[in-house]
Structure 1
């Protein structure tokens, strides 16, 4: 009996304790002024971080754009230098052939009192002094690499032999020498002189060079005119194919 009373009392106490726990109000944390201020600071820091990251991305993109532009410029310079180098190598090969042909020509003295002038269609002259003067100027380029000396030698040659069959070639090589030294005005004058000889085998390349000079002088319309003339007058030639490439590049 006492045992049942004790059990009943214990159960009553447990139920009462449980009721108090369930009925107890849930703790409430109020947001005071300090908590609100802390939230604002966190939001401001987050905004600054996002802004800084965006600025870094903008700076990186700007640097990438600049690098891409510089790469395009370098690529253009490499292509142009490759073309100039190939042209110079081709001209050197032609010079070697000319020198070799000159060395095979019979060296005959001519009567200085003779007033006969070699025909413009001749490739070589029988005038020993004229041959030697021209060959000497050529050797300054090929053998001695004395380009300033070659300029003077070709100028002296043209002055001494104004009606020489080598006149177109002398003008052409003067143009080449000036062109490689970026003296575009002087080079243009020499190539124009070559272009005036309709039967010169250097005429096509001289006209092509006039187009390149016009292009580098920021005269695209004039450059197109020269390129089109080369294509029309010398179809299928090396100069014509290069003129077509240059025209396409100008159209971009």
Structure 2
């Protein structure tokens, strides 16, 4: 662009010079036609015109220089805007990447929460259990309470296990654990010498589940309670019924030995 301005100024300067030379050439041969004062005035006027043309050409060149400077400033402003846009784009890209990471973390947490909820729900769903040869459905709380009471009994806390099993039977009267709970409750009462209540619970087991795995032992325990109560006649009848009802059981073998010792 600077070259174009130089080229544009050159024709103007050349034109001015040509006019000046032509004027001088015209003035030279004709110099004799004018008087000295007139010639001098003509030359001064011509020089003034040439100076005016030169100044006009220079101002045009200055204007072109101003345009170039303004264009350069515009280009610098545009470049600054481009750099600002690049910086903003990089910032937005970083924010987008962070947002994607946050979304991924949120999705992972939601998945973990869903799995946790499913696991907690499964804890409340009935599960298949097997106790004393019987298979049935029991929920988590039911299973937990029975096992807690049984743990107290097995640790030797017979007195403490009595209210634990009693509470279980009141809370879960239709539970599949009920016959086993009554058996262990009767044993806990026998251990604490509450023979009458023990007899009631053993009889309740036999009435509700005569085919239960613990039924023969419950019958033998009834006889033992009756012996402790000095009710020999009732004990003898209980042992005879046990031998007749459960002849193949180990309790029946023990019952035969007890009968032989009873007087």
With structure 2 as the length reference, what TM-score do the two structures score?
0.48
Which has the larger share of helix? 2
The structure with the largest alpha-carbon Rg is 2
